[in-house]
Amino acid sequence: MEIVVCAKQVPDTESFIKVGPDGKSIDTTGIKWVLNFFDESGVEEALRIKEKVGGTITVLSVGPQRTVEALRQGMAMGADKSILVDDPTAEGSDPAGIAKILAAVIKGIPHDIIFCGFRTTDDESSQVGLMLAEQLGIPHLPPAIKLEISGDQKAVKVESGVEGGMLTLEAPLPAVITVGRGLNEPRMASLPGIMKAKKKPIDTKKLADLGIDPATVGAAAAKVKIQNMTLPPERKAGQIIEGASVQEKAAKLAQLFKEEVKIL
């Protein structure tokens, strides 16, 4: 089974985020970068499939050289190899541009299952997986919370949560599967895994290697553009209700709900 996991390096959710000087991006000074959680879950699911039926796992990403850290995280978990498309002209690509680049890579390598995180914790577009499947001309299965490979390894069945119930879908392989929350709990990389990851190969490519015209991707070709970015307004400080007893505090709280919050 040949499995490709599309991955993105994103800011750690615990990092302090500031808007950059251009007002359209974040200030990356001092940011800690990590592998996107949903993509990490994709690596975990790929490992579980490999442990059952065998195969090879390739982690694929588009990004600057620092993205190597996220790829090595995937390999430290157990992925076999990585591919990084590191080209300045790809910077600023929208989801369609990223999907085009990923598809160009995947078309040139063996693939039975392609995992994509349902969303990323930075822009949360939730579009790349669908667009990638369209570019490759293969089925796309929605955010999976349960997955099963057929006995002959020619089809896959997934369960996806919908409002009020579950949706079960089956498709022939190859297919793109987006990874939903709850599919699994990603394993921690072991020390031997981390050491081995440092020696595993990372195949770095440019757009020219993929036959992609730089004018068709990147910021200039993006159909979705960020006009401005602002931080949410600061929350007002909380109010502590004082009182000699629970009853007194409850009475004061009810009074505040009535006079200030106006919900009573």
Domain that holds residue 39: 2-221
Mean pLDDT over 69-73 rounds to 95
Query: Which residue, chain included where needed, has tokens 């390096």?
Result: 9
Which tokens belong to 207? 């757009």
Cis preceding-peptide flag for 172 (omega within 30 of 0): no
For residue 211, pLDDT over 90 is answered with: yes
Statement to judge: residues 138 and 250 lie in one domain: no
pLDDT band at 174 (very low <50, low <70, confident <90, very high): very high
Number of domains making up the chain: 2
| Secondary structure of residue 217 in the 3-state scheme | coil
Edge-to-edge strand list for the sheet holding 140-144: 140-144, 175-179, 113-117, 2-7, 56-62, 81-85, 202-205
Statement to judge: residues 6 and 42 lie in one domain: yes
**Per-residue pLDDT tens over the stretch 15-47:** 888 898 998 888 888 889 999 999 999 999 999
Statement to judge: residues 136 and 89 lie in one domain: yes
Statement to judge: residues 92 and 152 lie in one domain: yes
Mean pLDDT over 42-57 rounds to 96
Q: How far apart are CA 199 and CA 180, in angstroms?
A: 31
Mean pLDDT over 52-58 rounds to 95
Encoded amino acid at 168, one letter: T
Query: What string of DSSP letters covers 232-254?
Result: PPPPPPP-PPP-SSHHHHHHHHH
* Cα–Cα nearest to 228, from 16, 8, 20: 20
CATH number at residue 42: 3.40.50.620
Statement to judge: residues 250 and 154 lie in one domain: no
Decide if 74 is inside a domain: yes
Statement to judge: residues 67 and 8 lie in one domain: yes
Statement to judge: residues 216 and 239 lie in one domain: no
Encoded amino acid at 262, one letter: K
Statement to judge: residues 92 and 38 lie in one domain: yes
pLDDT band at 237 (very low <50, low <70, confident <90, very high): confident
- Phi-psi category of 156—alpha, beta or left, where left has phi over 0 and alpha has psi -120 to 50? beta
**Per-residue pLDDT tens over the stretch 220-233:** 999 988 889 888 88
**Over the chain, what is the mean pLDDT?**
93
**Per-residue pLDDT tens over the stretch 123-160:** 888 999 999 999 999 999 999 999 999 999 999 999 99
Encoded amino acid at 130, one letter: L
Q: How far apart are CA 228 and CA 175, in angstroms?
A: 36
Alpha-carbon torsion (71, 72, 73, 78), positive or negative: positive
Statement to judge: residues 207 and 116 lie in one domain: yes
Statement to judge: residues 209 and 245 lie in one domain: no
Decide if 226 is inside a domain: no
For residue 264, pLDDT over 70 is answered with: no
Q: How far apart are CA 167 and CA 129, in angstroms?
A: 18
Statement to judge: residues 33 and 60 lie in one domain: yes
Q: How far apart are CA 225 and CA 42, in angstroms?
A: 28
Mean pLDDT over 168-180 rounds to 96
